[in-house]
Chains A and B, each alone.
Chain A
């Protein structure tokens, strides 16, 4: 069984760039005033940004950018991103979990921020090239 771990740095600039690229301009991802006003600890990353980091780990593991057959996650906790040069870190792990009936590879995924799981039930199915 192969497990690999990748650490991604996430800063406010990343969230602004992702907002523009994805079209998700929800102010909880860029306005401290708005985020704290709705009871969040501060600006949080887009869940879909975290999922995108997971997808990078999966395609890197598979060795092909078009290998993903299925990808699913549950957003368990927000990823707070402080307004600092360092931002925060998200750690993604991927480990093999056998084969599907079609012969694809099943992967179990985790994503953590400051030691806490931010995704649960995260998994992927990838095609062998």
Chain B
């Protein structure tokens, strides 16, 4: 007995998140953690030399904002009823208008873009539109989560 995820959630968007203010030290910490030594991730002067007001963030940095906010809003939505103990990360995609820059105050709008059920598993694609407070699109982030069926035996 198992209820597939409710298809009527497709297209649902959640309220914009509180602005996340991107710190220079957070970008440096993230860059160090992934071993990225490009000077533009660490040194504001180097970033200014290629046209940015402060250090820029590595390409996967947006996950810091989007994973937390989409988890809080969508995965933990009691009406949707996802069992996170059965969830694995399927796909991940980023499309950038520009790199995130230290000092950005970023708002995420999280949307359930797609839900499908196949072979006893549920597949949910979430989209996070990451914008400045002024409404400038910075990056769009998609994650596909797979909720494995309860009867799944590897």
Write the residues of chain A forming the contact surface with B, with a CB cutoff of 8 angstroms.
8, 14, 17-18, 20-24, 38-39, 47-49, 51-53, 55-56, 58-59, 64-66, 68-75, 121
Contacts and interface: CB of A to CB of B under 8 A. Distances in A.
Contacts of A8: 35
Given A23-B68, A65-B58, A75-B89, A56 B34 contact: yes
A65 B63 CA distance: 17
A22 B63 contact: yes
A65 B41 contact: yes
Contact of A72 (B35, B92, B154): B92
Q: Is the interface of B mostly helix, strand, loop or mixed?
A: mixed
Nearest to B94: A71
B34 A49 contact: yes
- State the 3 A-B residue pairs at the shortest beta-carbon distance, nearest first: A21-B33, A72-B93, A52-B34
B33 A22 contact: yes
Contacts of A39: 154
Contacts of B40: 65-66
A23 B59 contact: no
Most chain A C-beta atoms within 10 Å of own C-beta, residue among B30, B59, B94:
B59
Nearest to A66: B99
Given A73-B91, A121-B91, A48 B56 contact: no
A56 B59 CA distance: 8
Nearest to A9: B35
B116 interface: no
Contact of A70 (B56, B68, B95): B95
Interface in B86-131: 88-96, 98-99
B29 interface: yes
Contact of A52 (B26, B60, B89, B90): B60
**Chain B, interface residues (CB within 8 Å), range:** 35 or more
Given A47-B89, A75-B90, A17 B50 contact: no
A10 B50 CA distance: 31
Nearest to B88: A75
Contacts of B94: 68, 70-72
Nearest to A75: B89
Contact of A74 (B36, B85, B91): B91
A64 B98 CA distance: 13
B9 interface: no
Given A23-B67, A66-B50, A68-B96, A52 B58 contact: yes
A23 B64 contact: yes
A21 B32 contact: yes
Contacts of B63: 22, 48
